[in-house]
Amino acid sequence: MSTLVWFDDEVRPADEPVVTALDRGLLVGDGVFDTCVVIDGRPFALRRHVARLARSAERVGLPAPPADVVTRAALDLAARLDGPTGRLRITWTAGPAEGGPARTGTTPTLLLTAETHPVAHPSAASAQAPVRTALVTVPWVRNERSPLVGVKSTSYAENVLAIEYARRHGGTEAVLANTRDELCEGGASNLFLETDGELLTPPLDSGCLAGVTRELVLEWGAAAGLPVREATVPLADFRAADHAAVTSATRGIVAADILDGRKLRPGPVTLEMQRVFAERVAQDLDP
């Protein structure tokens, strides 16, 4: 596995210190980020990820990161990665400032990291399939009225704790409801329920992140005439599901094998959607 870092217009080894001890991203989680998968040396769906990064920045009152610099750095890092697949992260923090919660005239920090990583992305011919996807419902909820809804924030500890809870309970990904007991999303993914011949995913007002993969599944599924749509899903319905699926940049769309200890089978619409997804990715790496 190799890891590369881009900072201040230079590619550096991963162990070289780059941010200062006063960086607000480090001290108070004041920053945003985005992650995409790298397939054969190219960041997948880079334009959509850079656009979401700008939306996240705007939502938290940071200036938009310079799209041209970010794009150039991302293409450069991805091309240098060893191995057929990897992941690339763009981080944009409020930058160094005086301590304390208030921002004091900061200059944002831009940082990119890339690492080789075996991903389950269906489009990557050489990708290694994940061992399994086991979902565990966690005892905490996503607050759909939080100011960070829809923001890919570096304040990620809630997600980390949810995923760690899932892991302690034999899972690989967390299931989060919102305060209304509706299905919201995974710890670092969007969730789909396949029921009555339809593939359903919560709408954005559930409090979930507007996942790029979710968006592509909705768009490409509709274009292929598949029954894939947004719908409010009570958490209890999801937990009773026969078929569930998970989407994220590094996973693409995968069927869940286990939900709260119960075995699931891949649903027929999910399987068809995986086929369409792989086909579309093979046609265009920046849709």
Ligand X SMILES: Cc1ncc(COP(=O)(O)O)c(C=O)c1O
The binding site for ligand X (CB under 6 A) comprises 35, 159, 185, 188-190, 209, 211-214, 247-249
Q: Where do the H-state alpha helices sit in the chain? A: 24-28, 46-59, 67-80, 157-168, 212-223, 235-239, 268-283
**Cβ-based nearer residue to ligand X, 142 or 243:** 142
Instruction: Rank residues 24 and 49 by Cβ distance to ligand X and give the closer one.
Output: 49
Give residue 259's identity as a one-letter amino acid code.
L
Phi/psi of residue 76, each to 5°?
-65, -50
| Identity of the residue, 134 or 191, whose beta carbon is nearer to ligand X in the bound complex | 191
Nearest to 253 by CA among 151, 136, 119: 119
Nearer to ligand X, 182 or 185 (CB): 185
CA 8 distance to own-chain centroid: 25
Residue ranges of E strands in 8-161:
10-13, 31-39, 42-43, 85-93, 109-116, 134-142
Ranked by CB distance to ligand X, the top (closest) residue is 211
Distance CA(56)–CA(60), nearest Å, equals 7
C-beta closer to ligand X: residue 24 or 121:
121
In whole angstroms, the minimum distance from the beta carbon of 15 to ligand X comes to 25
Q: Which is nearer to ligand X, 22 or 160 (CB)?
A: 160
Angstrom distances, CA of residue 239 to CA of 148, 213, 244 = 26, 22, 9
Minimum Å gap between C-beta 13 and ligand X is 25
Name 231's Cβ contacts closer than 8 Å, sequence gap at least 6.
198, 200, 201, 202, 203
Question: What's the min distance (Å) between Cβ of 241 and ligand X?
Answer: 19
3-class DSSP assignment, residue 61: coil
